[in-house]
Structure 1
């Protein structure tokens, strides 16, 4: 009988051969990868990984496929661990105070790999996660890199897996090791979702020589001074007014001077000695690929994305430039079937089915989904669903509205990370969702790789930990997907990338070269839990969520009520069910204990605090309490 994990067996065979070889030097691993202890352990790496993978392969298979479960069903029950393989499992294994981008003597890497990600699966399962969401694992570009390793979002080849994610000692390809990772995850009952980059590509993408019409080209003499277009205030006001009204007819264009920087598709393309692609137009002008920038809002002044370029989704001579009205808020004159770059769209539509057939993935997160043409998104969804009707689609979108559901998407990123630092904004968002309902779940998280870490906001580590507890407890009460951005459970504070909600001071303190999205880096796996472990808290909160899943997952209008509480630092959320309700009360202040009073119709009632395993008493229609910094209460109430 063939094993259910043939690629995992290949890795085990390679480790079996390697474990009897001499490994030069010492190899340390975090104790936390094995149990809830801090510090490190010294191991023979081949034997260590062989033992863990053997236990996974020998364990009883946990069925993952339920024919009755739709993509909506399993997405709503998902508990997500967000893994960036190159970073999450990176570690200073030889303890020389640096993470080397080159393999150690003996052939094991210090940067994260699929082998180490497989070994981390039991840890992820212990946290309570049942779904792993991987940031892009495709080969990154080499040109205009922001750091030593390049961004996973600067995709050089959409079909190739990053060779840095394999362990040289195994003598296997990165593709084989990714297959083994997904096999092992499925064996343990864990689904795997991959993120896909369809809106952009690296400036040295492999498609450029054969398909120069898929890209925007700049006049070579003007490329060095290229930047986002500038709009005066009157024009900005008109842009905002039209977009707010969904009026995309004759959207204001950038200046003629800006548009003139762009060249027509070159007749020939070649690479210079540095690897930069240069094109020659029919008129003999030299041009190069245009780098990207944040196009919305149209006066956004985020640093340019020098390592990526926008793919040219439409062909129209009057719109041969990069701006908000060609990249996201498509002008009506542009977004027509006759202007579709059909061969590009067809290629993009084939990418996910390739990964479904080759790697058996369970879902896709679409990067910049809010900036893809709706017809293209529909084609991507339809083609993947032909392969697997229960294939899930998640969208980098901030609006959990019915329109997203109609597009075939099962979840969105949502706006929660952008309001969680202020109870007033949290109340505003939750009141809005109570009135409108929630058509698709959003991610219940206070951070992702583009936003500040929760603990980045607080100079004292214990305060960050307190805020993380509050946010996670609140998140399990919402019609949302519990989302553990890897490192959050360790109270990591160093940002992965300076994408959204960062200040100029942050950009001064964290140069691009120090950011883990672009360069070798690792988490504080060894001492992160010395203050008070978050792991048991996360597990307990997730058990409560599963117990009351039917109540907390409901997105019905009126099912999410915010009762009045006496203290502004205290947030209360009541989730209404058919025969019982669930009450959350949390102290959003991470530095100070807070007293509060909440009134009830019941005169006297004993409640059980499920998070803290202690009774709480309503007396004379009042529940009086004192909550420690970041502490929360969750109680069942009669309907």
Structure 2
């Protein structure tokens, strides 16, 4: 056990050695005080003021005590999992000194949140990018975490100044300590790995300009992908569309913007600029723009006629030296390398000459992160556009370090589950985020019915880091309802975006399912922001109850037992049935009116209803005819356990055996 907590113990010993009062006190949200720290200097409106070293010493001891209950992370059962998605610089951001500003979260301060995550039954922590971002072309005041300057360096803002005097401690070790603490609490840690794009200005440009696409700087203003007349909005670039795309005058004009890499255009000048950048610290990309008139091409969507704006801060890696043979007939012989709808999707349009040195770097970068930080897997950003051989190389390397690694596909559609599973993924983002952006009974029913047949697990979520918050769509009642809805879905892993537990309404990003009409609002991906940790209401009690229920009925809540009864008015129902137990999750999707649930209509011959959980207070009673009903409030969820009790059949009443036949027939129809 000693080796498993060596880093945490070293950090604990450091804080124990710090004299009291040596550092300025910190203000923290009282919600974070899971360790029960009592020597509070001051309390004020949901915050506590503490001595940092004393508090962190107590907190780290508490983590070690908790580890005795949870043990080190072992093989992950995805059927019993809960994912928490975090961006440490945002999740743990706070006005720690009450200066009126917001100080960045750090790896150390994010460790304070780990006991809260355990209360929520989290066993997979998914960290959004923590690598060093570029300072050029950045969005907002911080810049996107996806504008990666280097895959081998961490964001220096994630260093904690409280650790400045800890001898020999590197930023890599600060992150490795966070990972170790997660493992002690039975949590696996998954990183966002970014193999398809990099910041337009990055650490690779000097030695490998051929890894990127280049354009004339005069084309930068107003740069955007061509709009293709005759094709619909948001059209996938399938091979039958290629002729239309390349016949377009807009495409022909777009292709003229691209240039050869600068080391091919003028090798001597490029070498001079590299040396100048090394000596003066001037960004090499700025020198190339000023002296050579070229710059890396901003990235854009791979979907035709997508209204999404271009990504001005990132550039695509050029994974092949040549275009796909399918598009060669449409190109002139002197065409410079370019990025377009088809060349972006290297999974469908691979060239014949892999950019081998780039592939080797990407594979080694994944190995570096695995061995340096001790993590347990990756979400592969835009991974569905990678050539399959490259993806499989990366997966082999990852599994060489962790045979049971968690590998998450960003694919946005459940329909691609077979391909994702064949490629080697075991989890997929899937369609939930889209379905739950427009909550209607028919959409949810269609979505739920396809889940038992999926060949891998999907995120069960109503929001992600790329979508608006669910609370912004329907307030706390809808947020509570959808939390229950997502907790028991077959092949679904409940997924929380950081801040959802306190009903946060400000988004991290709105790239998908935007409900802001394009408003220029602060977004945590780009701007200095903090979560409303002082919220008087939280999801924590509800999440704790849900976790207890799931553990109690884990053997029943299996895809093989899944059954979907008919909806009743605006009440959507999904169930699990085995033996004499019928577990029913019921959801009144009407935001304004009560709805009546008649339990006998879920299946004939039912009796003995037990109310397991309510997201809001409903009423279980019998009506004037003696029939059991449950009155559900607007946007209310309820979990019921209905026991099937044999009894004498009255005229016109179906028996349990007939109900079982009815249920099996429904299963056959779904199959």
Instruction: Tell me if both proteins adopt one fold, taking TM over 0.5 as the criterion.
Output: yes
TM-score interval, normalised by the smaller of the two chains: 0.7 to 0.9
Q: What is the match of residue 309 of structure 2?
A: 303
Is 1:605 the counterpart of 2:632? The answer is: no
Does the 8 Å contact 1:279/1:287 carry over to 2? no
Query: Residues 521-532 of structure 1 correspond to what in structure 2 (within 5 A)?
Result: 521-526=529-534, 528-530=535-537
Q: Are residues 222 and 178 of structure 1, via their aligned partners in 2, closer, same or farther at CA, if it must alter by over 3 Å?
A: same
Q: Are residues 241 and 631 of structure 1, via their aligned partners in 2, closer, same or farther at CA, if it must alter by over 3 Å?
A: closer
* 1:111 shift after superposition: 1.1
Q: Which of these residues, 292, 297, 308, is aligned with residue 299 of structure 2?
A: 292
Q: Are residues 160 and 618 of structure 1, via their aligned partners in 2, closer, same or farther at CA, if it must alter by over 3 Å?
A: farther
Q: Deviations over 1:244-282 (max 9, x none)?
A: xx768768336221111111122144377862516879x
RMSD over equivalenced CA pairs, Å: 2.9
* 1:578 shift after superposition: 6.5
Is 1:404 the counterpart of 2:420? The answer is: yes
* 1:393 shift after superposition: 0.3
Query: Residues 277-356 of structure 1 correspond to what in structure 2 (within 5 A)?
Result: 277=285, 286-296=293-303, 298-316=304-322, 318=331, 320-328=337-345, 332=349, 335-336=350-351, 338-356=352-370
Is 1:572 the counterpart of 2:573? The answer is: yes
Q: What is the match of residue 664 of structure 2?
A: none
* 1:629 shift after superposition: 2.9
* 1:369 shift after superposition: 1.8
Q: What is the match of residue 104 of structure 1?
A: none
Once the two structures are overlaid, the 10-residue window that deviates more, 266-275 or 355-364, is 266-275
Q: What is the match of residue 494 of structure 1?
A: 506
Q: Deviations over 1:357-405 (max 9, x none)?
A: 1221112111112222222211111111122211110111123422211
Name the CA distance, whole Å, in 1 between partners of 2:383 and 2:19: 45
* 1:506 shift after superposition: 4.3
Q: What is the match of residue 467 of structure 1?
A: 478
Q: What is the match of residue 85 of structure 2?
A: 82
Name the CA distance, whole Å, in 2 between partners of 1:187 and 1:241: 44
Once the two structures are overlaid, the 10-residue window that deviates more, 207-216 or 9-18, is 9-18
Q: Are residues 251 and 582 of structure 1, via their aligned partners in 2, closer, same or farther at CA, if it must alter by over 3 Å?
A: farther
Q: Are residues 95 and 340 of structure 1, via their aligned partners in 2, closer, same or farther at CA, if it must alter by over 3 Å?
A: same
Name the CA distance, whole Å, in 2 between partners of 1:391 and 1:250: 41
Q: Are residues 259 and 63 of structure 1, via their aligned partners in 2, closer, same or farther at CA, if it must alter by over 3 Å?
A: same
Name the CA distance, whole Å, in 2 between partners of 1:545 and 1:441: 17
Name the CA distance, whole Å, in 2 between partners of 1:542 and 1:251: 52
* 1:624 shift after superposition: 2.0
Aligned residue pairs total: 595
Q: Deviations over 1:280-339 (max 9, x none)?
A: 79xx9631111112222x11121221111111111116572111101126664xx14x32
Is 1:221 the counterpart of 2:218? The answer is: yes
Query: Residues 121-140 of structure 1 correspond to what in structure 2 (within 5 A)?
Result: 121-140=114-133
Q: Which of these residues, 384, 408, 418, is aligned with residue 434 of structure 2?
A: 418
Once the two structures are overlaid, the 10-residue window that deviates more, 315-324 or 382-391, is 315-324
Q: Are residues 565 and 163 of structure 1, via their aligned partners in 2, closer, same or farther at CA, if it must alter by over 3 Å?
A: same
Does the 8 Å contact 1:394/1:411 carry over to 2? yes
Q: Deviations over 1:208-260 (max 9, x none)?
A: 111111101001222223212221125x59x95872xx768768336221111
Does the 8 Å contact 2:619/2:631 carry over to 1? no
* 1:58 shift after superposition: 4.8
Query: Residues 147-158 of structure 1 correspond to what in structure 2 (within 5 A)?
Result: 147-158=140-151
Q: Deviations over 1:445-470 (max 9, x none)?
A: 11111101011124xxxxx1111111
* 1:508 shift after superposition: 2.4
Is 1:264 the counterpart of 2:264? The answer is: no
Name the CA distance, whole Å, in 2 between partners of 1:388 and 1:50: 32
Q: Gaps spanning 5+ residues in structure 2: where?
A: 37-42, 324-330, 645-659, 661-671
Name the CA distance, whole Å, in 2 between partners of 1:631 and 1:247: 47
Once the two structures are overlaid, the 10-residue window that deviates more, 608-617 or 588-597, is 608-617
Q: Are residues 578 and 131 of structure 1, via their aligned partners in 2, closer, same or farther at CA, if it must alter by over 3 Å?
A: farther
Does the 8 Å contact 2:583/2:639 carry over to 1? yes
Q: Are residues 549 and 339 of structure 1, via their aligned partners in 2, closer, same or farther at CA, if it must alter by over 3 Å?
A: farther
Q: What is the match of residue 328 of structure 2?
A: none
Q: Which of these residues, 603, 628, 636, is aligned with residue 631 of structure 1?
A: 636
Q: Which of these residues, 469, 486, 505, is aligned with residue 453 of structure 1?
A: 469
Q: What is the match of residue 380 of structure 1?
A: 394
Name the CA distance, whole Å, in 2 between partners of 1:241 and 1:221: 29
Query: Residues 49-198 of structure 1 correspond to what in structure 2 (within 5 A)?
Result: 49-61=56-68, 62-66=70-74, 69=75, 74-99=77-102, 110-171=103-164, 172-198=169-195
Structure showing greater radius of gyration is: 2
Once the two structures are overlaid, the 10-residue window that deviates more, 195-204 or 46-55, is 46-55
Q: Are residues 621 and 80 of structure 1, via their aligned partners in 2, closer, same or farther at CA, if it must alter by over 3 Å?
A: farther
Q: Are residues 403 and 241 of structure 1, via their aligned partners in 2, closer, same or farther at CA, if it must alter by over 3 Å?
A: closer
Aligned to 1:277, what secondary structure does the other structure show? helix
* 1:546 shift after superposition: 2.6
Q: Deviations over 1:19-46 (max 9, x none)?
A: 535334x521101112599711111122
Q: What is the match of residue 230 of structure 2?
A: 233
Q: Are residues 382 and 516 of structure 1, via their aligned partners in 2, closer, same or farther at CA, if it must alter by over 3 Å?
A: same
Name the CA distance, whole Å, in 2 between partners of 1:2 and 1:402: 42
Does the 8 Å contact 1:248/1:330 carry over to 2? no
Q: Deviations over 1:146-172 (max 9, x none)?
A: 122221101100011111111122123
Name the CA distance, whole Å, in 2 between partners of 1:2 and 1:152: 35
Structure number with higher relative contact order (C-alpha < 8 Å, ≥ 6 residues apart):
1
